Every structure is written in C-alpha cells, then in structure tokens.
Amino acid sequence: MHVDAGREDGWHPHRHVSGAWADAQRADAGRGDEPHHGAVAAPVAAEQPYPGTVSPRHPAPLPTSLTELDRTLVMGVVNVTPDSFSDGGRWFEPDAAVEHGLQLLAEGADILDLGGESTRPGAARVSIEDERARVLPVLRALVGAGAVVSIDTSRAELADEAVQLGAAIVNDVTGGLGDPRMHATVARSGAVYVAMHWRGPSAVMDDLARYGDVVAEVSDELVEQVALAEAAGLARESIVLDPGLGFAKPGADNWPLLAHLDALQAVGLPVLVGASRKRFLGHLLAGRDGQPVPPEERDAATAAVSALAAAAGAWCVRVHAARATADAVRVAAAWTLARRTDATMTGDDRG
C-alpha cells in the first residue's frame, strides 16, 4: 500500500514550503506541447520566494508523493457504473475505466476515486458481488500504474479488499452509517478515511432533507460520526470530512455549506468538497426556460467552485474533469500565498 504511516510529525500543516508557488510557476512554464501537470509531480527545485504555506493539513497516512504538495489536492472520479448521473456509464467497461483514470492523472488529478455503485437520487443498490467485480480489476490496474487510489464504497468488506490491493483512501459516502463495521475495518487497514455527511440511502435521501441550520446540522452530525469512528479505533488524523453536497440536500442547501466551509474546518479535520456536476450547479446555470443544464455542461462552474473551495482551505476537491480544476487549485494556492505573505513583503519583493 502506498502509505506513509510513519509520519512522526503527522498532524499539522506540512512544512514543504516550496510547493504552491513553484507549482503555479511550473504550470505557467508548462504550456505548449508538454503533458499537462503530469501524473507524477517532478521534484520542485525552485526556491520559495515568500515565507508561509497554503496547504490545509494532509491526513496522516497519505502517501508522501501527495503530502509534499502544498496546495489543495484534486481527486478525479472514475465511476465504473452504468448509471451515474454525471457520466452515464461511459467508463463501465474495465479498459475504458482504466484509460479514463490515466487520462485524469495526465490532466492533473492527484488521486483517483474509484466507485462501482451509483449514488444518484433514487438509485437502487447493487450487490457486493457486482460492486466488487466492477471495481477491483480497475483498481489493480490503476495501482499497478502508480496511481494513488481512493475506493468509493460504503461496504467495509469491499473497502478492506481494496486497501489490501493498494487503495490508500476509503471514501465512504455514508460516513460509517451504511455499515457498522466500516470504522473498525478502516482503522485496521491504516488507510485515510473520508467521512461524508449522509442521512440515508439514495432511494429516500430527498425525503430526509429537512434542515433548520444546514451548516450547523451537517457539522454536528459529522462530529458525531467522527466520535464513533474514533471509538472504533480510527486515528483522528486519518479522517477527512465531507459535507456531502447533493446528498439529502436540495439545491439551496448546498450554497451555505460551500460559503461556510470554515464552519466544517473548525472541527479541525481536512475537508473534501464534491460539487462536481451536481444538480445545484445545473439549476444555477439554467437558461430562460428554467431547465438545468446537463451534467457535462457544468464543468466550468465546477472549476469555479474548486477555485473558491481551495482558496477557502479545502484539502481536496473531487471532480469529473480534472484539467480546469488542476489549474484552479494552483491559482488558489498562488493567490492564498500572496495574501498570507503580503504583510511580510517589502516593496523590493514585489515583482
């Protein structure tokens, strides 16, 4: 497994200060015919011109290839499903899924999130056998190609198998509510655990979307899940929180969650944001006829959310199209670094 479980300094913003600025500069220099960003970041030789870091803290057991990055990470989505809302089964065949994953890496994704079960509203569950058959061959191939892979599953048994095959992250859209064995299983595995806010299965989640104060309730409910995870043996520093945009959240409830990411960050754990191509963006972009734009026309809006979420300190953004978001997080890193260091710069430093 590609993990660095032994980070002794684990739980604080890392100190590789050259990343963000140099990353932004490298992205600039790398236009033309060169591959975009590349799956494996080249060592950063440039000097850090200004003090400070922009990184939100990384979860402790993350592979060192990623903890070295001083910016918000990009998670590219590989749905091996026939019916996801976002890409409608385009990557259902294993070869197509692997190829798509490699393409996302080439476009600048840092992590690939591999899922075999659609979570679109109203979706029925698939059997564990089907889920396993969909994701494990693709996982083997992507891990073999050197990718950092996250397994998007709410089943402990499958999460365990995936980590044994090299997945570094377990992304659980139920935050542990879907399978009582999940927390203890991930704890034993040593993987990073993404706990998403969840109120119930896709088939009924729209009926569970009743909030007084959506920001406070989502934070409080995630804090409860973290307490359960810790009680089951999961180390706090391996947990990432996710507000679960679109999951039991009608359109209007998603914006306060994005606008107040700081409330979730105040819990003290890294935050992952999954806004990509979601319904609330489709509705935002609707034309005069009021019809939401289709998922594949929501990528520019997704990249805008990525930039804003990164500037707000999100640890990672989960997206279907990696390239624009890979650019967006670099812009946000350079922007944030410049703001943080403004006060310490002299006139001569400003170029």
Report angle CA 255, 101, 133 to the nearest 5 degrees.
100
Return the number of the residue (21 or 315) whose C-beta is nearest ligand PMM.
315
Nearer of residues 48 and 189 to ligand PMM, judged by Cβ: 189
Joined tokens for residue 241: 């929180």
Question: Among 57, 278, 279, 330, which one carries the catalytic annotation?
Answer: 278
CB 19 within 8 A of CB 45: no
Determine the residue with CB nearest ligand PMM: 274
Q: Compute the least distance from the CB of residue 155 to ligand PMM, in Å.
A: 14
Active site residue 318: yes
- What is the binding site for ligand PMM (CB under 6 A)? 77, 79, 84-86, 115, 119, 152, 171, 173, 194, 196, 242, 244-245, 272, 274, 276, 318
DSSP line for 191-250: -EEEEE---S-TTTGGGG---SSHHHHHHHHHHHHHHHHHHTT--GGGEEEE--TTTT--
Quickly list DSSP for 262-319. HHHHTTSS-BEE--TT-HHHHHHT--TT-PPPPGGG-HHHHHHHHHHHHHTT-SEEEE
Residue 242 Cβ vs ligand PMM, minimum distance, rounded to whole Å: 4
CB within 8 Å of 277: residues ≥ 6 apart: 85, 86, 295, 296, 298, 299, 302, 320
Closer to ligand PMM by Cβ: residue 27 or 307: 307
Token digits of residue 76: 């590219």
CB of 177 to ligand PMM, least distance (A): 14
Instruction: Please identify which of the residues 57, 318, 323, 330 carries the catalytic annotation.
Output: 318
Q: Is 278 a catalytic residue?
A: yes
* Nearest-approach distance from CB 205 to ligand PMM, in angstroms: 11
Nearer of residues 67 and 86 to ligand PMM, judged by Cβ: 86
Report how far Cα 61 is from the mean position of its chain's Cα atoms.
15
**Torsion angle of alpha carbons 61, 64, 68, 73, nearest 10°?**
-60
Six-digit token string for 308 = 């804003």
Q: How far is the CB of 309 from ligand PMM (least distance, A)?
A: 12
Q: Which residues are catalytic?
A: 278, 318
